[in-house]
Amino acid sequence: MFDLISPDYSFDRFCAEMIGKDPMQVMEAASAEITYARRNHREKTNESNFRKGSKGRAYCDHLQTLICLFTGSAPDHPTSDFVETVRPLALHLLRRWEVLGLREIVSMTQASRPYGGLGDVADFLTVVISREQVEAGDIAATLGVLQRLVESPKTARDFAERVDIAFQGYDDVREELFEIPEVRSFVARLDEQFPYWLFFLSKHCRGLQCLLLCFLPPSLTEAARARIFPSRIGDHLTRRWFPAMNHICRYAAFSVQEVNALTDRVEAYITEGRLPPGA
C-alpha cells in the first residue's frame, strides 16, 4: 500500500499540504496522489478505478482538475466547493508565479466565470506543459491557451514579451530537453499552429531558448554546436519566426520604432542570452 497525502480523500487537506511548494511540485504531487490512490483501491477491491459518485472518485477528479489549472486554463463550470478549496493555494502560488488557470480561479465568483479577455485575469502568462501531454503528443490544451493571446489586437499588444513556457516532469532525465524526441516533436507540432514566439515570449526567461533549440540538431559537441548552430538559427528565424513576428506586429498595430526595438531585443537574446531585468 502506498502512503497518501490525504488517506481519507480530503481535497481540502491535499491543497493545504501543498502550501509552500512550487507549481511543478504541486503538479507532481497531484499526479502521484491519483496514481497511488487508484493502486491502493485496486489492491483492496480488485476494481481498476473508483466507482462513479464515490469519495475516492471525486478526490481523483478534483486532483486532475487541479493539474489542468497548470497546463491550460480553468474549467468552464467549476463547482463553488472546488473554487473555494483551491483559492488559498492559488493565491499563495500567484505571489511568485503567474499561472493562467490559477489566476482565473481566484478571479471567479462562486457563481460563475468572469467575462472578459485574457488581460483581465493576468498580466504575465506562464504556460506549463506536462510530461504526460508531451508523451501523448497532445497539444490541444497548450494551443488553446496560446490562441487566446491573439483573440484581439489589444490582447496581443498587452502580452507582447509577457509570456514564458516551461516543461514539467523532466527533472529526473539526463538529456537536455531539446534532445528528447517527444519534446522536439511536441514543439514542432505546436509551432505549426502557433509560430509567434519572438513576439510573445519574454526575453528575460529561458522558454524561448528552449523552443529554439528544439529546431537545432541534437547530440552535438560544443565545437560542433559553435560551427553549426549560428547558420541554422539564422535560417530558422528568417524563414519562419521573423515573418510570424512581423505578422503579429501588424495585427497589434506596432509602430516601426516598436518593431525595430523588438527585433533588436530578439537579436540580443539570441547572441548574448537572457536579457537582464529592466533591459
pLDDT in tens, 13-33: 999 999 999 998 999 999 999
User: C-alpha cell of 181?
Assistant: 524526441
Task: Give 128's DSSP letter.
Answer: E
Count of C-beta atoms within a 10 Å radius of residue 89: 23
Q: For residue 96, what pLDDT is reported?
A: 82
Q: For residue 120, what pLDDT is reported?
A: 57
Comparing C-alpha atoms, which of 32, 18, 149 is closest to residue 91? 18
Contact 203/268 with Cβ under 8 angstroms? yes
With a cut of 90, say whether residue 175 has pLDDT above it: no
For the chain, what are the domain ranges?
Answer: 1-110, 116-279
Task: Tell me if the pTM is above 0.75.
Answer: no
How many Å apart are CA 27 and CA 25, to the nearest integer?
Answer: 5
Write the pLDDT tens digit of every residue in 239-254: 999 999 999 999 999 9
Structure confidence at residue 114 as a pLDDT band (50, 70, 90)? very low
55 φ, ψ (degrees, to nearest 5):
-65, -40
Centroid of chain to Cα 118: 15
